[in-house]
A and B are shown apart, each in its own frame.
Chain A
Amino acid sequence: MGPHKVNITLTRRRFIKSVIFSAAAASSGAGWYMASAASNPAGGVERLVSINVNGRVRRVDVLPQETLAHTLRYKLGLTGTKVACNRGECGACTVLIDDVNYYSCSTLTHNVKDRAVLTVEGLRAEDGTLHPVQAAFIQELSPACGFCTSGQVMSAVALLKANPKPTRQQARDAMSGNLCRCGAYDHYLNGVMRASGQLS
Chain B
Amino acid sequence: MPSNDNMPEMSLYQPVQVEDAISLAGTLAERGWLVGGGQDTYGWIKDRAKRPEALIDLNGIESMRGISETADGIEIGALVTLTELANNALIQERYSLLSSAAGRVASPQIRNIGTLGGNVAQDVRCWYYRRGLNCYRAGGNLCYADTPEGQNREHALFGASRCVAVTPSDTAPALVALEAQMVIRNAGGERVVAAEDFFVGPDVDILRTTVLRPGDVLTSVRIPAKWANAEFYFEKVADRNVWDFALVSIAAAMRVTNGTIEESRMVAGAVECIPRRLTSVEQAIQGRARNQETADAVASLASQGATPLNYNHFKMPLMNNLVKRALTV
Contact = CB atoms under 8 A, between A and B. Distances in A.
A83 B108 contact: no
A111 B113 CA distance: 11
Contact of B3 (A39, A64, A65, A174): A39
A198 interface: no
Interface in B1-44: 1-12, 14, 38-39, 42-43
Nearest to B1: A32
B45 interface: yes
A100 interface: yes
Contacts of B2: 41
A31 B3 CA distance: 10
A42 B6 CA distance: 12
A106 B57 CA distance: 13
Interface in A53-85: 63-67, 70, 83
A91 B107 contact: yes
Nearest to B113: A102
A41 B51 CA distance: 14
A142 to B, nearest CB: 18
Interface string A173-199: 110110000000000000000000000
B6 A177 contact: no
A94 B7 contact: no
B46 interface: yes
Nearest to A38: B3
Interface in A8-55: 32-33, 35-36, 39-44
A108 interface: yes
Interface string B283-298: 0000000000000000
Given A32-B3, A43-B9, A89-B243, A108 B109 contact: no
A67 B7 contact: yes
Nearest to B37: A106
B307 interface: no
Contact of A100 (B7, B42, B112, B242): B112
Contacts of A64: 9-12, 55
B229 interface: no
Contacts of B110: 88, 103, 106, 177
Interface in B137-175: none
Nearest to B7: A65
Nearest to A39: B3
A70 B6 contact: yes
A86 B57 CA distance: 20
Given A102-B109, A102-B113, A176 B241 contact: yes
A174 B5 CA distance: 27
A86 to B, nearest CB: 5
B134 interface: no
B59 interface: yes
Interface string B92-122: 0000000000000011111011000000000
A107 B110 CA distance: 10
Residue of B9, B55, B108, B112 with most partner-chain A CB within 10 A: B108
Nearest to A110: B12
Contacts of A103: 109-110, 113
B107 A177 contact: yes
A108 B108 contact: no
Given A35-B3, A67-B7, A106 B38 contact: yes
Interface string B30-73: 00000000110011011000000001010100000000000000
Contacts of B109: 88, 91, 94, 101-103, 155, 177
Interface string A91-123: 100100000111101111011000000000000
A65 B55 contact: yes
7 contacts: A32-B1, A44-B9, A64-B10, A65-B6, A65-B45, A88-B43, A106-B113
Given A87-B46, A100-B112, 15 more contacts: A41-B8, A42-B9, A64-B55, A65-B9, A70-B5, A88-B109, A102-B109, A102-B112, A105-B42, A107-B38, A107-B113, A108-B55, A110-B12, A110-B14, A177-B243
